[in-house]
């Protein structure tokens, strides 16, 4: 598995051997930057999509490193696919080495395909804002900095855009977060799948310090806060 990790904390951890990584994980647990983003209890959206009879729908979310966001959505009932990738920039720059420079317009993102009869777009947004990331952090998540780690919803329809914007306003009015949401809604953006070695990264590397510290807690928070949506077996990207 290729581990040419470029960005900040992920790059530094990738340089060590397995025994050193275990020690590093224990050390980083006591550092400020290594604390997992806490989940926030938030109300369900007052506005959601109306049933259309469609068997599958696609959504795209960006909320920091795609490893954790993918790992969370892979455990949501009704999700049939969650693929890590890049959204917001051009096709020619949709690769990890370039996106990690933070100048492409891309955000690390996850394309989620779901059955709207089992989980609604609004419910996915609730998971996204509550568990998958911290929507009050501008151009960063945890130890990662840059516009490629921004909090962004990429709606693929007018109805998704309407629901997302209404929910952001609802959450800001609820004052459940310690600061206003900085999440942007960017329409008409193209999603590009990330490299193979990024897919299923959380599932395939559960002992990787970055995953242990930053992302596994998110999956556990999904299980605890959304038991009705929790799926024990993740929906993995096939080779």
Catalytic residue annotation: 65
State phi, psi for 140 to the nearest 5 degrees: -170, 160
State phi, psi for 192 to the nearest 5 degrees: -125, 125
C-alpha span between 6 and 106 (Å, rounded): 15
C-alpha span between 129 and 135 (Å, rounded): 6
C-alpha span between 128 and 171 (Å, rounded): 12
Structure tokens at 181: 């949401």
Which residues, including other chains, have CB under 8 Å from residue 112's CB and lie 6 or more apart? 58, 59, 60, 61, 73, 79, 81, 82, 124
Angle between helices 216-225 and 66-73 (to 10 degrees): 30
Give the residue from 203, 165, 156 showing the smallest Cα distance to 184. 165
């Amino acid at each position: 598995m290729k581990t040419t990790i470029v960005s900040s904390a992920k790059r530094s951890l990738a340089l060590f051997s397995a025994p050193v990584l275990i020690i590093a994980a224990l050390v980083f647990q006591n550092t400020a930057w290594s604390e997992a983003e806490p989940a926030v209890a938030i109300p369900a959206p007052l506005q959601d999509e109306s049933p259309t009879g469609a068997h599958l729908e696609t959504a795209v979310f960006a909320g920091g490193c795609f490893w954790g966001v993918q790992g969370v959505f892979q455990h949501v009932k009704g999700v049939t696919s969650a693929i890590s990738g890049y959204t917001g920039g051009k096709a020619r720059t949709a690769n990890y080495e370039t996106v990690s420079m933070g100048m492409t317009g891309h955000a690390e993102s996850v394309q989620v395909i779901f059955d709207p009869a089992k989980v609604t777009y609004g419910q996915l947004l609730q998971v996204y804002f509550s568990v998958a990331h911290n929507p009050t952090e501008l151009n960063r998540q945890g130890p990662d900095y840059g516009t490629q780690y921004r909090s962004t919803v990429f709606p693929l329809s007018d109805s998704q855009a309407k629901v997302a914007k209404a929910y952001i306003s609802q959450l800001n009015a609820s004052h459940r977060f310690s600061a206003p949401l900085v999440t942007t809604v960017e329409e008409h953006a193209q999603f590009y799948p990330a490299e193979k070695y990024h897919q299923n990264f959380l599932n395939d590397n559960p002992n990787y310090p970055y995953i242990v510290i930053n992302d596994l807690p998110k999956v556990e928070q999904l299980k605890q806060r959304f038991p009705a949506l929790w799926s024990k077996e993740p929906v993995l990207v096939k080779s």
